[in-house]
Amino acid sequence: MKDFSDTFKYGASYSPLIFSETEWESDLRLMQAAGMNLIRIGDVHGSWDLIEPREGDFEFEKLGRFYRLAAQYGIEILISTGAASPPLWLANRYPDVVILSNRGERYPLGASYHWACIHHPGYLAALKNYLQALLGFTVQHPNHFGWQISNEIGFPFLPARGENDLSLYCYCPYCVERFRDWLRTKYPSLEHLTKAWGWGTTYLVYNDWQEVFAPEALPSGWAGVTRWIDWRLFWQQAFADFAGWQHRIIKQHDPSHPTSVNTFNFKSYDRFGVITGLDQWKIAREVDHIGYDLYPGSGNKLATRPEHISIFLDHGRSVSQSVERDFWLHEVESGPIGGWIMGPDYNTKSEDVNNYLIESVGHNAKLVLFMPWREWDYQPLRWGAIVDLDGHPSERYTTATQWGEFLSRYGRILKKAQSPRGQVAIFESKSNAIFFRGIGEEEPLFEAQRGAYRGFWELDFGVDFITAAEITKGRWQEYQVIILPMIGLLDIETAKNLAEFGKQGGLLVGFSRFATLNEQGWYHHQIPVPPLKNVFGFEDVQADCLNQHRILYSGKWYPSFWNRDLLKIGASVQVLAEFDDRFPAVTLSQFGRGYGLYFATQADSGYLKSDQPLLKAVLQRVLPQLKIMPQIQIDYKGKKSRRIDHHYLELPNKKLVLISNYHEQSVDLNLYLNTTNWKKKILSIQQVFPVVKQIEWEMVNDSLQIHFQLNTKEVSVIEIELIE
């Protein structure tokens, strides 16, 4: 369901059932004054557990008073289905409703949300009954905006009972039976399952489907690889199905209001959703809109990952574009965060809020909600806020108000503007991530994906993410480059599609150990699997230890990382760099109208471990030679990395460039925008935020050149008006 309204939704999360009713009006008055038009409620703080405290006894009176008061201030409500926080009576009625670990331990009640098993029939019946009652309540209110399904859907994000790692939930009989059903669909017979799950240490033969059990150990503990992959793929599908089930119940009674899911990626405990059961791409297909929760300050991520906000939002934007829906941000960090009483991890200030908002809008978000408006007395974990505990505005409120004023006069334009596809796509595979998590190498995979992203991001390229499903649909045609960071698992069909991408003129970038295994986690007999072997021009590839070998490229020595491939290459392959023992280290092969660029070491993850990354050095030379150039380039004195982040949105008669300055100093900036494909002429260029002012510009060939100054931590929105 595409949101066809022209209003940019802007607001905050609020907990009316937790806060005193006497404080509602002052909070709503401040929200209205800040230009906010939407409140999210019921995520976890006062939801199903408070609205139905006793089975069948629904308490909507207080919530109804809040709806009516919010309506008086012109504020709409986005409400959660409450699925994440069931009431206590459910656990008392069904003692087996609590999720069960691989050791037969129940998840501790009161520890976190998502403690109930999503396959338990008692839970599903109770949730459906609650949803139907909630639907009957919400449709009575004209300021009902839409739905958030659950909250950060998936298994609990906190370890049970202080464990160092998450247990592999849920192993209850209901889930194991659903897993068997999933396997029956995937495998034609028990014989096929037995063969697929074969493993050297325990080659179990299954004679009955009831003998099939969920794997209770990781491959790193010498358990089966394919079983582990199937188990986690099952859970990723299960949570997507759970979201879709709630979506369909809602649409039966409320077809005109959008549904959404808020999720995340790259969390420290679960980088790719393997343990929590997240496949954002699948979830996005089950609801109207996909949303991400943005917390750069939690763990002080930007101190070690300057690309964090962009890579996080580019992933969410790519997921939303894959289903042609709007991208929402249900939660955006609003103040000092993390660390309990001895914190915070990061003291989020007004300039940070400015950057979070410019990044959000620049990454094509059409709904932005701060989390939270106000903190809660009973939870002394710092979580940010726009106002203090007594509801008094902070410095961040002033910044939020400036944005509210801007969005009130410019929101319609930003709502309609769209972010074009990036020129580069990073290939992402959930099976690949599941495998590497299972053998204890999730963090190197995360580093590889970050390194691949940084290699292009720091050269000013727009970067998307793409999956095998998107490649199968032919969406590879929209990119000039597909990069394949630490892709150990790759199926034959995807390999053929990637080869076609190269043949039709694209650039494929691969790294050592590429396409070594199939989707089951079994060896391909030729590496990388044909026809990709032909794309890169290899006759033979052998795995080798690194043994401190260095790489000579363009007269300079670079370190290699982790491992290397010994390459035997065809006569037409160009060797760009060599190891110190003369084996090829970087090669470039022409294939059809395109090319294969290969690094015989982990130059993707190695990007983060060197002051002079090999990947960046090669890309700086190869890409211009292949006439692959970024849409926007930014230059200034002393530029070493991308500390000026820029984004690009398009309308038929406008172009928008959104810029944030992460430097602790003012910068004289030169911006170059490629206008080769523009069919209209420039009428005017002006800055429209934070203040309106004209900007000087000139055209040089097919490049628009703008020179202006950005102050310390300043953001800017530049509007380019076009005319026939």
Q: Is the pLDDT of residue 95 over 80?
A: yes
pLDDT score of 1: 47
DSSP string, 206-241: -SSGGG-----S-GGGT--HHHHHHHHHHHHHHHHH
Per-residue pLDDT of 130-179, as tens digits, reads 999 999 999 999 999 999 999 999 998 766 555 556 677 899 999 999 99
pLDDT score of 158: 67
pLDDT score of 2: 47
Task: Tell me the C-alpha distance between 605 and 560, whole Å.
Answer: 10
pLDDT score of 566: 97
Q: Is 720 helix (H, G, I), strand (E, B) or coil?
A: strand
Token duo for residue 380: 């002394």
The 3-state secondary structure of 545-583 reads ECCCCEEEECCEEEECCCEEEEEEECCCCEEEEEECCCC
Per-residue pLDDT of 269-301, as tens digits, reads 899 999 999 999 999 999 999 999 999 999 889
Least confident of 221-225, 396-400, 521-525: 221-225
- Average of per-residue pLDDT values in the chain: 95
Per-residue confidence at 718, pLDDT binned at 50, 70, 90? very high
Per-residue pLDDT of 9-19, as tens digits, reads 999 999 999 99
Return the higher-pLDDT residue of 117 and 476: 117
Q: Is the pLDDT of residue 670 over 90?
A: yes
| Average pLDDT rounded to a whole number, residues 6-28 | 96
Least confident of 44-48, 95-99, 452-456, 651-655: 44-48
For 338, left (φ over 0), alpha (ψ -120 to 50), or beta? left
| Average pLDDT rounded to a whole number, residues 188-216 | 94
Whether the full predicted model's pTM is greater than 0.95, yes or no, is yes
pLDDT score of 162: 53
Q: Could you give the domains of the chain?
A: 9-166+255-416 (3.20.20.80), 424-625 (3.40.50.880), 632-723 (2.60.40.1180)
Task: Tell me the C-alpha distance between 62 and 313, whole Å.
Answer: 36
Q: Is the pLDDT of residue 553 over 50?
A: yes
Task: Tell me the C-alpha distance between 16 and 66, whole Å.
Answer: 7
Per-residue pLDDT of 233-264, as tens digits, reads 999 999 999 999 999 999 999 999 999 999 99
- Taking the CA atoms of residue 115, residue 121, residue 122 and residue 124 in that order, the dihedral angle to the nearest 10 degrees is 70
Least confident of 95-99, 155-159, 708-712: 155-159
> Buried (b) or exposed (e) across 218-256, using 16+ Cβ within 10 A?
bbeeebbbbbbbbbbbbbbbbbbbbbbbbbebbeeebee
pLDDT score of 200: 84
Integer CA distances (angstroms), 146 to 116, 136, 262, in order? 24, 14, 13
Per-residue confidence at 221, pLDDT binned at 50, 70, 90? confident
